[in-house]
């Protein structure tokens, strides 16, 4: 088993990105030099070197992506950084390219097996290293002692992958009983509308102001309007015209002016008269509106 390196993953990633940036800068310099010497023999050699350098840069970028899955020895990592520095300074030595390729292959020989349990439990320590071959990893898990913790974790991982999916079972719909609310209502006969026509004005005012049933308030309002009472929505008062006063033609006038009797429900329960009362016709409730 390979132990985890003392150098952190972030430090290695930063070092490798710096080397990639330096090599890309070097490749740009070679490309500019090629444009100047395109027709000469030296220009063709530089194109070969540029292609080789681009291949190495691509390998370094791939290594940077796979770095989090690899467990790398510190000595091999330092050797790789040293070879990249030499390549940056001297591209004419092909031995450095061979050494880098061989070293990269060695780094890819060990790779962590990515599972759900490794990600949640073992990743903080990164101590368990398995071969990259999945078949070999499965065989090794079968050979482990059944009483060991590693074997139990493997079995839990396998059972998690084989867990039932939504398509594997059917959940019947939940039965909900419908309540018949009509059966809960009281079974008594409502009073006929003709009863309200037999009530006095004071009783109708009491029903309108103090009964909480909207239907009874509506019936009381209809009877009051039949008795020539007018309800002013702006002032919230029931009003009645003075029989001895001649009002103007209300069809052409938007504002009604003149003396009116009004019913006071707060304080004194009585009718009062007010001279020179004026209000707009739109504030009156007509009988047709509350039918």
Give the tens place of pLDDT for each residue, 3-23: 444 567 788 888 888 888 888
Which band of pLDDT confidence, cut at 50, 70 and 90, is reported for residue 92?
low
**Phi/psi at 29 (5° precision):** -65, -40
Closest CA to 64 of 24, 117, 6: 24
Say if CB 140 and CB 130 are below 8 A apart.
yes
pTM: 0.35
> Which residues are paired to 241 by β-bridges?
260
Which band of pLDDT confidence, cut at 50, 70 and 90, is reported for residue 126?
very low
Q: Is residue 114 pLDDT above 60, yes or no?
A: no
Instruction: Of 41-45, 97-101, 226-230, give the range with the top mean pLDDT.
Output: 226-230
CA separation for the pair 77, 8 (Å, rounded):
12
What is the pLDDT averaged over residues 176-199? 69
pLDDT at 1: 36
Residues of the chain with CATH 2.30.30.1020: 198-285
Better-predicted residue by pLDDT, 115 or 49: 49
Which band of pLDDT confidence, cut at 50, 70 and 90, is reported for residue 182?
low
Q: Report CA dihedral (25, 31, 34, 38) to the nearest 10 degrees.
A: -170
Rg of the chain in Å (alpha carbons)? 48
What is the pLDDT averaged over residues 271-291? 75
Give the tens place of pLDDT for each residue, 146-176: 667 777 777 888 888 888 887 877 778 887 7
Look up residue 214 and give its two tokens: 């909207």
Q: Is residue 202 pLDDT above 80, yes or no?
A: yes
Mean pLDDT (the chain, rounded): 74
As a CATH number, domain 198-285 is 2.30.30.1020
CA separation for the pair 24, 32 (Å, rounded):
13
CA separation for the pair 158, 151 (Å, rounded):
11
Better-predicted residue by pLDDT, 101 or 113: 101
pLDDT at 121: 41
Q: Over pLDDT 90: what percentage of the chain? A: 1
Say if CB 53 and CB 5 are below 8 A apart.
no
Parallel, antiparallel, or unpaired for β 237-241 and 230-232? antiparallel
Q: What is the 3-state secondary structure (H, E, C) of 249-270?
A: CCCCCCEEEEEEEEEECCCCCE
Better-predicted residue by pLDDT, 29 or 118: 29
CA separation for the pair 112, 69 (Å, rounded):
6
pLDDT at 23: 80
Better-predicted residue by pLDDT, 230 or 56: 230
Give the tens place of pLDDT for each residue, 212-248: 778 888 888 889 988 889 888 888 889 888 888 877 7
Strand order in the sheet with 255-264: 270-280, 255-264, 237-241, 230-232, 284-285
What is the pLDDT averaged over residues 80-101? 73
pLDDT at 85: 79
């Amino acid at each position: 088993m390979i132990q985890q390196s003392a150098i952190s993953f972030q430090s290695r990633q930063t070092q490798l990105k710096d080397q990639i940036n330096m090599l890309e800068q070097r490749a740009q310099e070679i490309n500019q030099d090629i444009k100047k010497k395109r027709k000469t023999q030296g220009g063709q050699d530089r194109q070969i070197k540029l292609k080789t350098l681009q291949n190495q840069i691509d390998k370094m970028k791939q290594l940077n992506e796979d770095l989090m899955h690899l467990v790398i020895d510190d000595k091999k990592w330092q050797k790789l950084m040293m070879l990249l520095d030499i390549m940056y300074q001297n591209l004419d030595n092909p031995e450095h390219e061979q050494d880098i390729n061989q070293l990269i292959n060695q780094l890819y020989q060990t790779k962590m097996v990515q599972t759900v349990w490794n990600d949640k439990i073992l990743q903080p320590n990164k101590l368990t290293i398995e071969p990259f071959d999945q078949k070999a990893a499965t065989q090794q898990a079968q050979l482990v002692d059944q009483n060991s913790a590693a074997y139990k974790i493997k079995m839990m991982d396998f059972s998690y992958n084989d867990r039932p999916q939504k398509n594997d079972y059917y959940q019947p719909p939940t039965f909900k009983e419908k309540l018949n609310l009509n059966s809960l209502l009281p079974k008594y006969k409502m009073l006929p509308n003709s009863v309200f026509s037999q009530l006095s004005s004071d009783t109708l005012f009491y029903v309108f102001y103090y009964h909480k049933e909207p239907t009874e308030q509506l019936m009381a309002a209809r009877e009051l309007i039949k008795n020539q009472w007018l309800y002013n929505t702006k002032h919230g008062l029931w009003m009645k015209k003075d029989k001895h006063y001649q009002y103007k033609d209300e069809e052409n006038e938007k504002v009604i002016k003149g003396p009116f009797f009004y019913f006071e429900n707060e304080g004194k329960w009585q009718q009062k008269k007010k001279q020179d009362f004026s209000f707009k016709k739109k504030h009156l409730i007509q009988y047709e509106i509350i039918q």
